[in-house]
Chains A and B, each alone.
Chain A
Amino acid sequence: MRRATALLLSGALVLASPSPAAAYLKFGLRLDSSAVDIRWGEQPIRYFITERDGPGASAGQLRDAVARAFATWQAVPSASVRAEFLGFTTAPPELSDGRTTFGFLDRPDLERVLGATSFLLDGSTGRILEVDVYFNTRFDWSVAPNGETGRIDLESVALHEIGHLLGLGHSAIGETELGATGGRRVLGSGAVMFPIALGPGTIADRVLQADDVAGISDLYGTTAHLSATGSITGRVTLDGQGVFGAHVVAFSPRSGALVGGFTLNAAGEFAIAGLEPGPYIVRVEPLDDADTATFLPGGVDLSFGASYFPRTVAAPRGGAATPIEIRVRRR
């Protein structure tokens, strides 16, 4: 008997809501004693579109926006992703019907959530059974080529949600400030997978950033990609103890690429993969640019200040650099 586990991801794209900034995360599932990445084993990924119009965009325009967003992920040369549109459906994007569905959905209760992605997984194998992606009809949507003032760009949000569908969590490469109403205003975003949208009118999130490319290449990377890129690994420590939930960013002064990672255990260990070979500046900061729950479960340490590893670190070609230790100070 197949045991199915419904897993609702925290991978919702929000508008000016509280959440921190970091690098790419992969969704994972613990099976027995081992952790497995949530990823599509069978491709192409076949999907349906709910036959329902939303504010500012028809179902047909949603189909086109989703197709363009899939094409953007598929165009990453270092990853192998394929998708296929099967047709329209009357089913909303929230039923456990075995169909992966994109569609508009009424969620007036979620004031700041633009869209969200939910998974139905085989709890014994981790295999993806179904993914549903909804776009909240509480917002006015745009499919204009250059965006529309006051409207949310549908393709940009679709690109973000498809990142979740493919298995990516949120990136924390971004900077925000607290707004007067308690939400957060984005000052800058370095990844499509950043959890807070740039805002109405902008179409900048139609273009994948280095962090997004590194993430998707880590999940669906080609053999050539793995042998052509390297990783930086190490620990973040505070008073000699590992720091959980620190956001570590590798910056290439040569290409300008920013790729991030997190310390994901009590030892403060991190790994940033998919880096073009070359010297990197490594910066660590607390996850204080959004709600920490957007990225990681509880226990995230926010008590330290931003810091740098005191020299450049070389990412090799097809391997890992010598592990480094970044010592941070309490702020």
Chain B
Amino acid sequence: MKPATQPAALAFVALLAVPAVAQPADDAPTLRARRLTASIGGLWLGGYDVGSRAATLRGPGSGPTPPPFTLFTVDGAFAGAGGVEARLGVTLAPRWSVEVSGTYARPRLAADVGGDGEAGAVSFEGERISQYTVEGSLVWDLGPRLGARARPYLIGGGGYLRQLHEDRVLVVTGQVYHGGGGVRYWLRGADGSRLAVGVRGEARIVARRRGIDFTGDVRVYPTAHGLVFLVF
């Protein structure tokens, strides 16, 4: 065994050993009804294309629609970016809760220009976009245990997207819809007590409608979330 892998292996074994000692096997942690949960942390937005467009001129051929002359083409994409996130949730039933979340990130809108016979190919450094979302989600805690302190869940919802260009002169709005899953891991209070603390990791697929886009299409991209949560 390589030395570097040994601590990781030991930690994994230790993690698995915790639930057997901490609580009975049939009592997986969950959020109790009418409890509030506050979460704060970070997220990562996956990159995605925003479309391609050609700058065309009317060609000299005869007829109403002669073949066009392409001056240059532009391919746009959002690069992956990190951000911050805060959520507030309330448990409606032992396995059901709703959350309202807000995120902020500054993804870079990059563009590549090609096909320009005079200027050649150009890659733009891009423009920083300030992006905000406010979303509502329904969270369903799944039955299978992942140990005495961890519980998986599914999440889905949607909300409002607001994107602000770098010069802060233009706001573009849209909608985002998400679906995914994650795991909560209780660091304290896994037995359901108040002021429980834990961490949660989550992965989503997001469908974005409207917002900054070159062709107006719906875009799909992944996101990953890591948060600390506190149960009141």
Contacts and interface: CB of A to CB of B under 8 A. Distances in A.
The answer to whether A and B assemble together is: yes
Interface of A: 146-147, 149, 173-175, 185-190, 198-205, 209, 230, 251, 253-254, 256, 258, 277-279, 281, 283, 285, 305-308, 310-317, 319-322
9 closest A-B pairs by beta carbon, nearest first, are A188-B69, A188-B57, A314-B165, A201-B62, A306-B118, A316-B169, A253-B214, A306-B119, A314-B170
Given A175-B57, A307-B119, A312-B109, A321 B169 contact: yes
A286 to B, nearest CB: 9
Nearest to B212: A279
A254 B122 contact: no
Contact of B55 (A147, A203, A258): A258
Nearest to B75: A253
B72 A283 contact: yes
A283 B119 contact: yes
Interface stretch (B13-21, B124-132, B133-141): B124-132
B211 to A, nearest CB: 11
Contacts of B124: 308, 310-312
Interface in B164-214: 165-167, 169-170, 172, 212-214
Given A278-B172, A308-B124, A310-B124, 11 more contacts: A146-B64, A188-B58, A190-B57, A251-B55, A278-B170, A306-B118, A308-B113, A308-B119, A312-B127, A313-B167, A314-B169
Interface residues of B, number: 43
Contact of B111 (A147, A200, A281): A281
B177 to A, nearest CB: 22
A187 B169 contact: no
Contacts of A188: 56-60, 68-69, 71
A254 B69 contact: no
B53 interface: yes
A4 to B, nearest CB: 39
A204 B59 CA distance: 9
A253 B57 CA distance: 14
Given A254-B213, A311-B124, A173 B57 contact: yes
A279 B68 contact: no
